[in-house]
Structure 1
Amino acid sequence: MARIRICLLFVLMWTTAMGQAQQKLQVQGSSPNLHLVHTVAPKENWYSIGRIYNISPKEIAATNSIGMDKPLAIGQKLKIPLTDANFSQDGKKAADEVFVPLYHTVQEKEWMYRISTTHNKVSIENLEKWNAVTNDQLKAGMQLIVGYLKVKQSQSSLASQGSQKIQIATNPPAVVKETKQVEAITKETPPPAKDETVKTDPPKTETTKPEVKEEPKPIEVTPTSNSGPANHRGGFFKKQYAEKGNSNTGNAGIFRSTSGWNDGKYYALMNDVPVGTIVKVSFSSTNKSIYAKVLGQLPEMKESQGLIIRISDAAASELGVSLNKFYVEVKY
């Protein structure tokens, strides 16, 4: 009888471990509190669970507000925090680690921009590359990779479903570049931003050394596209624009994007307009227009109140915008 019980116990442990290893790991929560949920199996303890997810058992206990002196119960749910130690969205890991994909289930009316914002602002380019899907193809219920768990090959039961390398978008430096550009737009003082970059070139005296330590990064990642406003004659989507008699006027805002500066692919967020629609945004103060593809609805946040549309920072740059809110006419 005792042997039968032992055999049944081992079978239960094996099936539980296999089930956890094969099921897709779902990311829970939102930045900066992303986590996984683990169901305690027979014979597991703080240390064995820590080895599965490549994280200190102390961090698991702290995340769950439980003391490590308390024994775990079979079936107990534990939050497994995702930190720099065990979570990657940049393709970096130790030599003895592998990447295990982590997923997010797409909800109704959810698009890449919102998913990116919720998951550490991972670039939309990476989301599209990891999942071989574009924003236009998103559907509720889809399983979308939003990052990777880094686990030790020799310690984690999840390692069997891991890989040595992941694809990363080829333009990560642009994130730094656009951050500087958006700061210039939102501060309503784009000219000073240009002056600062010019001032860093001529000075060669010793007194400028402290500034040079901070300035090289934007200078190195600044291709010709960031030496001035974006100028793509309306943008990449101009040829796809087909006006159907719809128009709206009102205040517009800006959001950050790595797209548009080099390729002219401008994007917009707008309510009650189908995803994928190309809209024409005109700014009367400069008599300029750009053409942008709608990624989804305006995010439900304080900054969106009173806006009819938000456009990418590169698009705002081509319009010659110098304010964080500006009046536009939108046609589509």
Structure 2
Amino acid sequence: MKQTIWLIALMFLSFTSLAQEKIIVQGTFPNIFIQHKVAPSETLYSIGRLYNFSASQLARQNNMQENDVLSVYKILKIPLNKNNFTQDGQSGENEVLIPLHHIVLQGETLFRISQNFGKIRIDFLREWNDLNNDVIKTDQRIVIGHLKVDKKNASIVAERIINENSKNNVTAQQENTDEQPTKKQEVKQTETKVTEEETTPIPITNGNDDEGFFVSNYIVNNENLAIKTGTAATFKSTSGWTDRKYYVLINDIAPGTIVRLTADNNRSICAKVLGALPEMKENKNLLLRVSNAGAAVLGISEKNFPVKVSYPK
């Protein structure tokens, strides 16, 4: 009973916050969308389940491949259609409705907004926005429909959907994460992708004892260290080239764990676990994938290479 009350309270707080931090619809009807901030270990499959979309549909919307690995803080477009969007205020038994807003442009009227967003009933617009008449102001936030979310996913969506207050912060974070080296313009700002590397990573000139940004978070206690050895490959990432933040995809180690990777040449880096290896044939015999910047610091140029991983038990 206490657990049920806690869950209800948590959901209430989440959606009270969302009511204050308005979610703005992007695009032009009917091709409208909202945005989702990727969290560690999320995939197109898990995100698709939150919004009633298949991984292939989300991949097409975001110019990606279905099995691409998502970089943390990446912003994904979530299309709005009959699967997850309603303009009649009706929800299913296990659904909650999250209001979605349009920012009133200069000269727009309530009638014009109604027409521009699929001929919404004017009385619905008045009801959703507590309007006593049809007078609206430039820059006013007007509810034009609702996102339909399964109750069990409500708190996750509330945390990761982009609203007015989070958008600028996330954009700044993403720009910092995607910063590129001035002398390595060939490292393109693309989504992180689990594919075989077609290009050889360019080694970075670092001291042998520079293991990267996460070295200070690595827990060194030989009695409590677990060690795995196996074959590694790389994945493309814009992170690490300037900020020295290296990432790995590996099974059976919790996301967020800091691990140490050691190559046969005795070079090592400390990297953060993003999540598990996606289930695909390219990963069948792999222990892990490391971001290409990390592989460069290890002095690796081969497509596949042996590696030792040490991490806290």
Greater relative contact order (Cα 8 A, min sep 6): structure 1 or 2? 2
TM-score of the superposition, structure 2-length normalised? 0.46
Between structures 1 and 2, the one with greater helix share: 1
Bigger radius of gyration: 1
TM norm structure 1: 0.44
